[in-house]
Structure 1
Amino acid sequence: MVVESEGPLEESCLGAAVLPQETARIRLDQPRTDDLADIVFLANNRKIAANLATMPHPFSGDDARRLVQRGQATSADAALYAIRLKSTGRFIGVAKYGSTEPGGPVHVGYWLGEPFWGNGHATEAVQALVDQAFSCGSMNELAAACRVTNPASRRVLVKCGFQYRDQAMIRSLAAGGSVPIERYGLERSIWRALKRWGRSA
């Protein structure tokens, strides 16, 4: 996911948010210090960093510690979670939501370690994250974006109900400049309709 906030959460949004529900194969919860080795191993990958706005490459132990710290401060309107395999508890990526600027739209962001690509884990994680955000948060819409050259991330967003809005350019630290992105949105009313439809199917 291209658009993501790497800064600390505002003090006004510090508080314990209820953790998202588990899915069939993954669990979202707080990143921990015992995840540091896995975080560095998986995040230190140019293929991942080049698809994000602010992830550094190389990705260091200090970067991993900052990620863990950000995961300790969650609220209904801003949260960062570790994506874990439910069967083993192993850290495999990150899913988060929050505003990149005060009063701005709430963006969904995520990344998954390359060994876990192509198995549907990102879709499960984003579905759980969206349910968490709309169930506990006050936002009326979630925003998301992906690089034009990242069809896998596009498929995740579409499967999770996000609708295409437009294209834009954004600076990517690891890509070394501006890159074209597709922007998507999911309104609360659409999410509710999809949840009702899923229950009746």
Structure 2
Amino acid sequence: MVVESDGLLDESCRGAAPLPQEAVRVKLDVPRADDLADLVFLANNKKVASNLSTMPYPFKLDDGRALIAKAENPAANSSTFAIRLKATGRLIGTARYAQLEPNGPVHVGYWIGEPFWGNGYATEAVHTLVDHAFAYQDVSELTAACRVTNPASRRVLVKSGFQYRDQSLIRSVGAGGTVPTERYSLERGVWASLKEWGRAT
């Protein structure tokens, strides 16, 4: 997990960028009404919700509809994507970046449905999400967080270039209280260097 800011087409937002954004096995594109059944099935999971900040549990049809509607009308420096398997087009989770405060850094969040854990899909999705945020938005830094009890999400962040900053407490709706998290950040310059290094190897 990453503590998502969730709670996601104009020139300043996702509409100016090509879609879908593709990785090796997954692609990111706009969540649709016909994703609702998969979205609710996968999101209505205590193990998922307790690792996120604002995802409710239980996750109901109205919650799914609200997420899809929010994705269709993103704010500046924000985008919400469905994470899909390229082979089938099936939604397996969502990924989002959003500016939580005016002039603040842009926060990255994501989740993958439990049946798809342990396959490296989250790492592919976060790599793609980070590339999209830096390539198509005017942001200098991305932030992310994970619960201290979630080593899988920590590995995703580190593999995506994020660097540890500190620890803090956040309120998790799904967990039903305050939980300790580790906070991470990735600056544009570091991302650019990593991309250049990757092309050189």
* TM > 0.5: yes
SS at match of 1:108: strand
- What do the CA deviations read for 1:3-43 (whole angstroms, capped 9, x no partner)? 4132x7xx996661413531110010000000000000000
SS at match of 1:190: helix
TM-score, normalised relative to structure 2: 0.93
- What do the CA deviations read for 1:125-172 (whole angstroms, capped 9, x no partner)? 000000000001111000000000000000000000000000000001
Q: Give the aligned partner of residue 26 of structure 2.
A: 26
**Structure 2 residues without counterparts, runs of 5 or longer:** none
Counterparts of 1:1-201 in structure 2, within 5 Å, are 1-6=2-7, 16-18=15-17, 19=19, 21-74=21-74, 77-201=77-201
**Structure 1 residues without counterparts, runs of 5 or longer:** none
Q: 1:196 to 1:15 in 2, by over 3 A?
A: closer
Give the Cα separation in 2 of the matches to 1:48 and 1:124: 18
- What do the CA deviations read for 1:175-197 (whole angstroms, capped 9, x no partner)? 11110000000000000000000
Give the Cα separation in 2 of the matches to 1:75 and 1:129: 16
Give the RMSD, CA atoms, in angstroms.
1.7
Give the Cα separation in 2 of the matches to 1:99 and 1:129: 14
Identity of aligned residues (%): 61
Give the Cα separation in 1 of the matches to 2:100 and 2:51: 17
TM-score, normalised relative to structure 1: 0.93
Give the Cα separation in 2 of the matches to 1:84 and 1:136: 21
Give the Cα separation in 1 of the matches to 2:124 and 2:189: 20
Q: How many residues get paired?
A: 198
Give the Cα separation in 2 of the matches to 1:160 and 1:90: 24
Question: Runs of at least 4 residues of structure 1 off by over 3 A?
Answer: 11-15
Give the Cα separation in 2 of the matches to 1:3 and 1:30: 17
Are 2:22 and 2:128, in contact at CA under 8 Å, matched by a contact in 1?
Answer: yes
